[in-house]
Structure formats: structure tokens, C-alpha cells
Amino acid sequence: MKDIVIATGNQGKINDFKHIFKDYNVIGIKSLIPDFDVAETGTTFEENAAIKSEYGMKLLNKIVISDDSGLEVDALNNAPGVYSARYSGEGATDEKNLQLVLENMKDKEDRNARFICVIAVSIPGKPTQTFRGEVAGTLLHEPRGENGFGYDPIFYVASHGKTTAEMTGAEKAQISHRGHAIQKMLDSGIIEEA
């Protein structure tokens, strides 16, 4: 079984990758480099994903995959965007970020939003490649569901009649932004060629 190193300490993301990469040994980079940390200084999801995967690849001299993902809300001029994980500022948590989005959306009629994920794959001796996935939804006025993480409890997907926090891991993997980006990566053959 081939190892895939994921450059994140976010267990929710690692779990998402495990649902999708059933035929691989998915390893969170913090189990190899406990103090792995890199500043996400990019202004796009593509830049931030590449910063993390390239840094991890240089440290380990192995294939490293990272993602940068977030929520874009039409009525908030695509905020929180690349700042989704730190939207509520210093000491940001999933709960604080979610509550701030709800607060900022309380008088908005347009509830359209999308989850975006960009996967970056860094392979020693090759240029980094990125793959983008999106899933459209609408924001609810209050959280629903116990699964998932981040903004999942308020992100409603009409085709499934539930939030991504009400979906099983397998259901979410089928429709998720991360799932779409990973499928594009798999279709490219980049992992098999490495």
C-alpha cells in the first residue's frame, strides 16, 4: 500500500482523505514532523496549497499532498475565502468562525455559497500541480448535524436535502469540494506516475 503524506494537522481533513483514498496509507504530516507549521501567505487557495505541499516535500523528500479550502459566500463578497480557518481572528475556532458568518449573514437574503478546495501535489524533482473542486450550497440560519467540521453544520446541499454535517463520511466524500479536487488529481494519474 502506497503512503500518501497529507500536509495538515486538521484531523477532519485527514478523515476526509481517508474516506477518499481507501487504497492508500494516509499519513498526517504531524505524525512525521510534530512541529510542522508553515505560514499561509498566499492570496489564493492555489498559492496556499502549494506553499504547504512544497514545504513538506522539501522536508521529507517524499510526495506530499496539501489542500487549501474554504467557504465563499456571495453576499459577503466571497468572504471568508482563504481566511476561512481564521475568519474570527486571533484564537479562531470552528465555532467562532461559524457564528461570525451567521452574524454577518443575519440580514442577507442571498444565502448562496460554495465550498472550494484546491489540492496541491508536490513530488520531488517535479513541478507542483494543483487541482480545484467546488460544491454549491446555501447557508442555513442555524447549525444542523453532528458530523463534519468547520462550516459543515450551516452548509445545506439541496440535492441531498441536508447539511454536510448531516451527511455520513461516505456521502460527503461523493459530493464534496475536496472529493471533486481529489478526483481530478486521481484522473490526472500524477500519483501513479510518481
- The domain that holds 187 is classified in CATH as 3.90.950.10
Count other Cβ atoms within 10 Å, centred on residue 74.
14
Quote the number of domains for the chain. Answer: 1
The whole domain housing 143 covers 3-193
Q: Which residue has the cell 508553515?
A: 38
Give CA separation, 171 vs 166, 174, 175, 179, in Å. Answer: 9, 5, 7, 10
Per-residue pLDDT of the chain (194 residues; tens, 9 = 90+): 778 899 988 887 888 788 777 888 899 999 999 999 998 899 999 999 999 999 999 999 988 999 999 999 999 999 999 999 999 999 999 999 999 999 999 999 999 999 999 999 999 999 999 999 999 999 999 999 998 889 999 999 999 999 999 999 888 878 888 889 988 998 998 877 77
pLDDT value of position 125: 93
Peptide bond into 153 cis (omega under 30): no
Point out which residues pair with 68 in neighbouring strands.
118
Catalytically active residues, by annotation: 68
